[in-house]
Each structure stands twice: as C-alpha cells, then as structure tokens.
Structure 1
C-alpha cells in the first residue's frame, strides 16, 4: 500500500464511505437549506462549516496541482465560514453540496493521477512540509469538522423534537 491509496481511503471515509463514522455525504443528504443554516450558541451552522471545508480543500488542491505556490497571509480563517444571508435557499444549498462533492472527487482524481513521488516532495514555501503531511492533516481537519457537523445535526433534530 502506498501514500496515495491511504489518502484516497481517508478522503473517501470522510466523504462517502461508511467506515468508523458516518460520512459527510450521508450526514448532509437529508438536510434542507433552513436546517443547514440553523445556528446554535456557537454561531456556526452546518452550512458555514461546509463552506469552510470547501474553501480549504479547494485551496490545498489548487496548491497541490501547481509546481510551486506562494502562501498569502491575507486569508482570515473566520471568513471561510461565511454564508451569505440572502442565499439561504434550497437551490444554493444544493449548489454548495455539489461543490463539496466536486472537491472530494477532484482530490481523489488528483491523487490517483499524481506520481508517487509527489507525496514525499517537500514544500519550501510551507515549512518544508512534505505533501503527505499536508494531505494527512487535511483529512484530519475534514474529520474534525465532520464531527462538529454531526453534533450540530443532532442538536438541530433534538430541537425540532422538543
């Protein structure tokens, strides 16, 4: 087994393969826009966390697909959780879910098509971290937020039943 197959397995476990936890696709599939935008006392919604996951998965995939990249420090992580209030409708929620599916599929494709050596290549502009470390941490980051999404969904459903 190589790095690529491990990370493809991890990404799939996060998005659509039942493994140790319910995958993101299954958690989200029965939610409508109003439910996805519901906030608890933490001020985060499922939708805002999904936007955050899309942002970072897209950003790191964009970096993975180029030979070298510059880190821009102008990214405010809090901004990656933003949901435009006037776009909270089922059409936009479906678009968000499609973007999420596309980014996970794109990561799978990028990993499958890349050379094995790519994952041991160090990134000089990012602390000389190897790509395998970046992708591994991205998978952990995804799993962390999937746990948050699952808890928010449980709170949402409990609030509906009370």
Structure 2
C-alpha cells in the first residue's frame, strides 16, 4: 500500500465513503440552509464549519500543487468560520455544498496525478514535515469537524 492510496482513502472516507464514520456528504445531503445557519449555544453553525473546511482544504491544495508554503501571511483562524448573514438562503447553501464537493474531488485528482516521491518530500518551510503527513493531518482535521457537524445536526433535529 502506498502513501497515495492511503491518502486517497482518507479523503474519500471524509467526503463520501461510509466506513468508520458517516461522511460529510451523507450528513449534509438533507440539511437545509436554515438548519445549516442555526447557531448552537457555542455560536457554531454547520455552515460556518463547512466554510472553515473549504478554506483549509483549498489553502492546502493550493500549497500542494504550487509547493509554496508561506506562513508569514497567517490568517486569523476564526475568520475562516465566517458566515455572511446576508447570504443565508438555499441557493447559497447549495453553492457552498458544490464548493465542498469540488475541493474534495480536486484533492483526489491531485493525489491520483502526483508521484509517490512528492508525498515523501519534506517541506523545509513547514516544520520539516513530509507532504504525506501534512495531507494526513488535514484529513484528521476534516474528520474532527465532520464529527462536530454531525453533533450539530443531531442537536438541531432534536429541537
């Protein structure tokens, strides 16, 4: 088994392959814009967490493809959870779900097309980590937030 096949398996498990946990695609399939924008007691929303996942998956895919990692342009992580209150409607929610699907598809495509040697390549500007480790940790990050989304959905549906 190669790093590439493991990482593709992890990305797929997060998006649409039900294995150890329910993937995000299945969780969100029947969530409405109103539900996605519902604020929990902790001021979290499904939609804002999805925006956060899109942001970090796009950012790391861009870095993976370009092989440029600049950490001096550090973003405030709280800003990646932003949800524009003026754009809460079914059309915008569907557009968000399309972006989510596209970023996961783009990750799978990028991994399928890359050489195994890229995945073992060390990133000197990112703590000396290898690409396989960075992508694997991104998948762990995705799984963490997918769990949050599942819990929020359950809380919303129980009310």
- TM bucket, shorter chain: over 0.9
- 1:141 — aligned with what? 141
| 3-state DSSP of counterpart to 2:21 | coil
The number of aligned residues is 159
Separation in structure 2 between the aligned mates of residue 148 and residue 30 of structure 1, nearest angstrom: 17
Separation in structure 1 between the aligned mates of residue 72 and residue 51 of structure 2, nearest angstrom: 19
- 1:50 — aligned with what? 50
Per-residue CA distance 1:27-71 (angstroms, 9 max, x = gap)? 001011000000111101000000000000000000000133322
- 1:13 — aligned with what? 13
Separation in structure 1 between the aligned mates of residue 55 and residue 148 of structure 2, nearest angstrom: 17
- 1:4 — aligned with what? 4
Separation in structure 1 between the aligned mates of residue 110 and residue 42 of structure 2, nearest angstrom: 35
Separation in structure 1 between the aligned mates of residue 55 and residue 32 of structure 2, nearest angstrom: 21
Query: How far off is 1:128 after superposition?
Result: 1.0
Separation in structure 1 between the aligned mates of residue 74 and residue 152 of structure 2, nearest angstrom: 29
Query: How far off is 1:77 after superposition?
Result: 0.1
Query: How far off is 1:135 after superposition?
Result: 0.5
| 3-state DSSP of counterpart to 2:137 | helix
- 2:22 — aligned with what? 22
Task: State whether residues 69 and 126 of structure 2, in contact with CA within 8 Å, keep that contact through their aligned partners in structure 1.
Answer: no
Q: Runs ≥4 in structure 1, deviation > 4 angstroms?
A: none
- Consecutive unaligned residues of structure 1, counting only runs of 5 or more, are none
Per-residue CA distance 1:87-109 (angstroms, 9 max, x = gap)? 00000000000000000000000
- 2:77 — aligned with what? 77
Separation in structure 2 between the aligned mates of residue 67 and residue 57 of structure 1, nearest angstrom: 15
